Amino acid sequence: MRIKELRDERMKWREQGMDGPCCKPCGAAGAAAGAEACAGALMLAAAMMLDHVKLKDLGDRLRSAISGTLNADNVRTGDLGGKASTRQFTDAIVSRIKNG
């Protein structure tokens, strides 16, 4: 796609209220959780981007940290039934990445 086509496509998404993964609450779960509802989705998208640019080992590392944070540590944001803020969720993932 050319730049103008990309901009036009983005405007279509914005008009439908889908500006980005963390722009606003999503449905009933998002409304209960507040605007912090999609941090995990954004990080999973980043992992897929790393795969796409041939950095699969880094994408795997990020996915592993996300999984460990959610499942082993049980750190979850409101959209996933937890009480952690986006900052707490992100800090837990960063800690897992730093500590292997």
Residue 11 and residue 18: Cα distance in Å, rounded?
A: 9
92, 75 in Cβ contact below 8 A?
Answer: yes
70, 76 in Cβ contact below 8 A?
Answer: yes
Instruction: Give the per-residue pLDDT at 41.
Output: 85
pLDDT tens figures, 48-78: 999 999 999 999 999 999 999 999 999 998 8
E runs forming strands in 1-100: none
pLDDT tens figures, 8-56: 666 665 555 444 554 445 544 544 445 554 788 889 989 999 999 999 9
What's the pTM? Answer: 0.66
Instruction: Give the per-residue pLDDT at 68.
Output: 95
